[in-house]
Amino acid sequence: MRIQDKVVVVTGGASGLGLATARYLVEEKGAKVALFDVNEDAGQRAAAELGEKAIFVRADITSDDSVRQAVAATAARFGAVHACINCAAILGPSKVLDKEGRAPPLARFAQMAMVNLVGVFNVMSQCAEQMAKNEPEAGEERGVVINISSGAAFEGQVGQCAYASTKAGVIGLNMPAARELGVYGIRVNAIAPGLFLTPMAAQLDPKVIEALKAQTEAPNRLGDPREFAHCCAFIIENAYLNGETIRLDAASRLRAR
């Protein structure tokens, strides 16, 4: 799918990899973007920075109504939705047993599952409904979904039970969703990123950054958010890529701790 003038929804679009991707798609590819996020101040600043080809829509991805209204607002502003990139996620510790050997409260695991997996499905589903209304490009494509997983889906670390399992669930969406939505001309793929130098990571102590770099293979550095954005653009543009997960991690593998 050609990206020029296409409409892309980016969840978690107010910061981090989401904002970097939105910026790349607008500035390098000529896309129009809708930034879905719960951080209203950051979202409004990001949309203002990106200019007339961007809007911010406050959206709670765990809410049916909130996402429905956000998708409708995007279609009302730009006329369509052609792609969605699900970057929104939360990260936090989650173990099977706590330090005292007791089962922890379920709420934290459930919250992460709601955002990282249920929220991804919610946005994918409602964006796909809008994409199905598009005229097919080149007689075959109406839309593209990119769901963001993590290297933790493959090598989850100690304390990542909730995060790793929800990110593995994102990968599990690929094939059944790609098979189901193919009849509408909608492709579904995922990216499992490794360690990236987001603005939040850049604020870490230099010693911490060096320790993170030591976990990468080649190139021996943290990823540039533009490299993540470029991967998203590649997936949108390559019409034969479907049902796949791309590990974008410099051949690094997470250690147990």
* Residue 240 appears among annotated catalytic residues: no
Nearest to 252 by CA among 208, 199, 216, 202: 216
Read off φ and ψ for residue 54, nearest 5 degrees: -135, 145
Quote the crossing angle between the two packed helices 119-131 and 161-181, to the nearest 10°.
Answer: 20
Q: Which residues are catalytic?
A: 163
